[in-house]
A and B are shown apart, each in its own frame.
Chain A
Amino acid sequence: MGLPKFKYLEPETIEGAYPLLAEHKEWAKLVAGGTDLLVRMNQRVVTPSHLINLKRIPNLDYIDHVGNEGLRIGALTTLRTLEKSEVVREKFPIISQAVGRVASPQIRSTATIGGNVCLDTRCWYYNQSHHWRRSLAPCYKLGGDCCYVVKGGDHCFSLFSADTVPALIGLGAKLRLASSGGERVIALEEFYTGVGERVNVLQPGEIVVEVQVPDLPSHTGGVYLKYSTRGVIDFPILGVAAVISIDPGSGACKEARIVLGALAPAPIRAVKAEAGLRGTEIKDSLIEDVAEVARKEAGPIVYIEAPVGYKRRMVRVLVKRAVSRALELAQTA
């Protein structure tokens, strides 16, 4: 099935995009790579009246790392460019690693980092064609009042599956958002609402223009583990990012971040598990305990991609493996 009808707009500057957004409001959609949006348009999950293509806008495709000011990634940078970037590989290997697990090389050559952080949530019922959905009443995410994933559920339980985001949150990344009223910078972690019906806090008229990643302290290790059925072209059943910094003298953990992806409408920080690591020298038994804490922190788990009980167990296994690996990297850094 082809795309539904829409009008196509192509601003040449970011300033040129604002009036278009103001004019068409929620009926317009921003598009860059289109690898997520166009699929949903094909399925008639979204049917915007206007598509505003950002890809003609110059100077939003860059990877800068200057001095101690951290990494700045322009929103229109393709995932493939990011994956291949030498400076990212050297200074932020966890980013290259997470980006390299998104979809396939072909899709990564088109998809952008801005688009990936703005990914919509998905589930087995919502992401279907309109023919498929015809026999069912609309779910919460489609403006209805039921959830098919959790029968009797009182809100949307769709999943946020972007691979890059747990890794970026693990690094303490921020987003720079621009609108006609000016700019603001927001922690990536706070960008997501946790509500499936409205995935992020992007305001009408706002555009994600940059991802900022602070430089890492020395002796920091980070890893993103993706659990999926296929080796490529697959959404994660579970994604776990762990970033750990240690004091090289005492060997104690100075900072730890554990982020769980694909379990809920937003990435989940396992803050209690992180707290369990901070300030101590991390032993294997502690990792086991912390993994169990993270499992409890994961909250309710739904049957999408794999059975609930199994996914819950995998949280423990993957957190354990991610923390062990990140620690190893921190120790050898």
Chain B
Amino acid sequence: MTEEREKGYWLRKRGVDSKKFSVIGRSLPRIDSKAKITGEAKYAADLKLSGMLYGKILRSPHAHAKILNIDTSNAEKVSGVKAVVTGKETLGVKYGIWRLRPEFMDEYGLAIGKVRFIGDEVAAVAAVDEETAEEALELIEVEYEPLPGLFDVDSAAAEGAPLIHEGIRDNVSVKRRIEVGDVDKAWEECDYIREDAFRTQVVQHTPMEPHACVASFDFGGKLTIWTSTQSPYFVQCLLAMALGMREGDIRVIRPYVGGGFGCKIEMLKHEFCSALLSKTTGRPVKIVYTREEQFIATRQKTPMIMELKTGVKKDGTIVAVEFRNTLDGGAYHSYSVTTTIIAGILCILPYRVPNYRYNGRHVYTNKPVTGPMRGHGALQPMFAFESQLDLVAEEIGVDPVELRLKNATQPGEIKIPNVAHISSCGLSECIEKVSQSMNWRERGGSLPKGRGIGIGAYGFFSGALYNYFDTQLPYNEAWVRVNSDGSVHYFTLASDVGQGSDTILCQIVAEELGVRLEDVNIVSSDTQIVAGDMGAFSSRTTLMAGNAAKTAAADVREQLFKVTANRLGLKVQDELEARDGRIVIKRSGEGISLAEAAQAYQSANNGAPVIGRGVYTPSTPISEGSVVSPTWSFGAQMVEVDVDRETGQVKVLKVATAHDCGRAINPMAVEGQVEGSLHIALGYALTEEVKMEKGKVFNPSLVDYKILSAVDMPEVESFVVETDDPHGPFGAKEAGEGLTIPTAPAVANAIYNAVGVRIKDLPITPDKILKALEEKKGR
């Protein structure tokens, strides 16, 4: 970004005191940009170790079947094959991400007894090259007894349906309920009530880099694994569980990661299989997933079948909402209990809903596993609720923007007692911003034929607080060392998976120490250095790792202040400040360089380096009663579309987004998130769908699965609204996942505004629009 552009960018932002900070709030280029642009950055699939073998996984061709026998003898005979493993070679322990509740841990490293979806892992081979491993896979003979497959929630949850997991009655693994106020009574106070049903589809995260890892056991029996993951810590712990090892004897190293979006949070089968194969062979084993495997055998976004009932007063004040939700979960649990509960919470986050009832249930089906994906648990219910709010607005004759402003969440509100309390919220301002940007009040009623504008609002976590992983560690730990040459080393396990957290966190450290961004060197990729961090998900990194980094940097600064005070003969420490690479007396500017301060510290401490430490450990309840997240981001988006009435094709012309991220540590990075979010969210709204027939995915490629291309992207305008949140580092909240939420309903509302048809199931494809137009004409 040029200086002028940076300046112009700022003119569009509000309330930023740029004088107050030197590094925070500046649109600095990402610290990893050169490595990525030049190809210097190495990803897991680029790694090669001496003696390395290549692994391949045999997957179930059946959606649901008993395994009667596996014969690997022919595969083992293939020249170049070094090991073949099946469920028999595993410990047979179940693992899962919800360590707190064993009933939600339902996966084996390799199938034992039965398979539950097409793609379930049955055996794995390590060989001298991929071709040999492939050849061996073909020779593994598995005898199956097919069982009836359950492909939709109705047949899976029907009485007497075969059980996908033993002991899970009706295949319903989770039921969750939220009750606020008195919903039954509240209906009587409503002037207008409506009920609608909505559905969302299966989509896949499609990170640019498919899953890949290299696992290597040493002769001491300790494991090192290089893996493309969002959470080295989870991989470490779950591998320990599945392999029967101590967590501390497993070292997880995260190379550069080419995106995750939720499908790289948990330990997945390639990680388990490469580790097991390495243990068996004593050699490093690499497994790289094909795009097809990444589609069927990692995670998919959970489809939801939603019934919503909303009651309002004549003036549009929301009185009550009832939400019944069924999640089509696929074959294993993954994060489903989380998905089920947060769908209920996030549905009403942007609005005051005094009376609310939520009933969610998660049903197992014989399909690929669903799990978290960017905007976890929120895109589905917000598509439904924001669509329904527009329907309500039209019926009662209230402008959709005014309806939202009337009900918008305000700071200090309690959304759900003891669950979600709001410490900062700029939603009303966000709605105003996008409405002004689109010139809604003037243009809204007089758009050309086929054109329409729609709105969507949202709120999202800034990190999850609930300790479902049952960890003993802080949610993030940071060490900051100031070296005697003035350089700064910052150690964390916060995972940069492409979202840019390394840059943001280094900006925070640099600001605290008064140094330049390039003075800070980060190590953020190795569980053997700093252990505490859960991973990059639930939009937690800026807030949680940021707070720990800030504390650690402040800690080291205070230690350097002490030695500087001695050196300068000061008696009162608080007259010092760190700026421009120096520690100086505030009033006079007299002082010493950071390097000299570090040298002085080391001289006085037998050479020991000066290190600051910081942790972020949430206490429960934190944030005045919020046990789900320390704080919440908010925002609004407006979308303008042009609908071709003859073909049903939708062209998205312009999108305006205003996001309350508390404070933009790096405005250019926020802008990047706005645009990236729009890409994933427009695909969700219009084109992306994992198509399945009896549990078999038939578009597992980027040719047939339609993520949008660069030429399909609209004009984008983004606004940052800053609310200086009390819980965030320098007031910052999340700016990555929430942004994906408003697009689908905003597009649906814009299409309705354009041609008067309401599509209630995603994706909104041209054929659905055309069909609805014809039905409307027929009426």
Residues of A near any B CB (own CB < 8 A)? 1-2, 4-5, 124-125, 127-129, 131-132, 134-135, 227, 229-235, 306-307, 309-310, 313-314, 317
Contacts and interface: CB of A to CB of B under 8 A. Distances in A.
B61 A233 contact: no
Contacts of A232: 709-711
A231 B767 contact: no
A229 B647 contact: no
B647 A132 contact: no
A6 to B, nearest CB: 12
A231 B709 contact: yes
B290 A129 contact: yes
Nearest to A308: B767
Contact of A230 (B647, B709, B765): B709
A129 B698 CA distance: 11
Given A1-B290, A2-B131, A233-B709, A125 B766 contact: no
Given A4-B131, A306-B765, 7 more contacts: A128-B700, A131-B292, A230-B708, A230-B711, A230-B712, A232-B711, A234-B706
Nearest to A1: B290
B615 interface: no
Nearest to B700: A132
Nearest to B707: A230
A227 B61 contact: no
A135 B60 CA distance: 9
A229 B687 contact: yes
A125 B701 CA distance: 12
Contacts of B703: 127, 233-235
Contacts of B699: 124
Contacts of B40: none
B706 A229 contact: yes
A48 B753 CA distance: 55
Contact of A135 (B118, B687, B771): B118
B211 interface: no
Given A125-B698, A129-B290, A227-B647, A306 B767 contact: yes
Given A129-B292, A231-B711, A317-B646, A124 B704 contact: yes
A235 B711 CA distance: 15
Interface in B651-695: 687
A127 B646 CA distance: 31
Interface of B: 59, 61-62, 118, 130-131, 134, 290, 292, 646-648, 687, 696, 698-700, 703-704, 706, 708-712, 765-767, 770-771
Contacts of B711: 230-232
Contacts of A134: 61
A5 B131 contact: yes
A1 B61 contact: no
Q: Which 10 A-B pairs have the closest CB atoms?
A: A135-B61, A310-B767, A231-B711, A229-B706, A317-B646, A232-B709, A230-B709, A124-B698, A231-B712, A307-B767
Given A124-B699, A307-B767, A310-B770, A131 B712 contact: no
Contacts of B687: 229-230
A108 to B, nearest CB: 14
B698 A313 contact: no
Contacts of B708: 230
Given A2-B130, A235-B703, A313 B770 contact: yes
A38 B700 CA distance: 18
A310 B766 contact: yes
A1 B54 CA distance: 12
A124 B691 CA distance: 10
Contact of A131 (B59, B131, B767): B59
A128 B703 CA distance: 11
A124 B770 CA distance: 24
Contacts of A4: 131
Contacts of B131: 2, 4-5
Contacts of A132: 292, 700
Nearest to A129: B292
Contacts of A124: 698-699, 704
Contacts of B118: 135
26 contacts: A1-B130, A5-B131, A124-B698, A128-B698, A128-B700, A132-B292, A134-B61, A135-B118, A135-B696, A227-B647, A229-B687, A229-B706, A230-B706, A230-B708, A230-B711, A231-B712, A232-B711, A233-B703, A233-B709, A234-B709, A306-B766, A307-B767, A310-B648, A310-B767, A310-B770, A317-B647
A2 to B, nearest CB: 6
- Of A4, A124, A125, the most chain B CB neighbours within 10 A belong to A124
Contacts of A313: 770
A131 to B, nearest CB: 7
B92 to A, nearest CB: 26
Nearest to A232: B709
B647 A314 contact: yes
Question: Taking each of B118, B698, B700, which has the highest tally of chain A beta carbons within 10 Å of its own beta carbon?
Answer: B698
Contacts of A231: 709, 711-712
Nearest to A318: B647
Contacts of B62: 135
A83 B61 CA distance: 44
Nearest to B644: A317
Contacts of B765: 306
Nearest to B710: A232
A231 B130 CA distance: 35
Contacts of A317: 646-647
A103 to B, nearest CB: 10
Most chain B C-beta atoms within 10 Å of own C-beta, residue among A124, A129, A132, A313: A132
Nearest to A228: B706
A128 B700 CA distance: 8
Contacts of A310: 648, 766-767, 770-771
Nearest to A104: B709
Contacts of A1: 130, 134, 290
A153 to B, nearest CB: 16
A128 B292 CA distance: 9
A309 B646 CA distance: 14
Nearest to B129: A2
A231 B708 CA distance: 8
Contacts of B710: 232
Nearest to A306: B767
Contacts of B130: 1-2
A234 B708 CA distance: 10
Contacts of A229: 687, 706
Nearest to A229: B706
B137 to A, nearest CB: 8
A226 B766 CA distance: 15
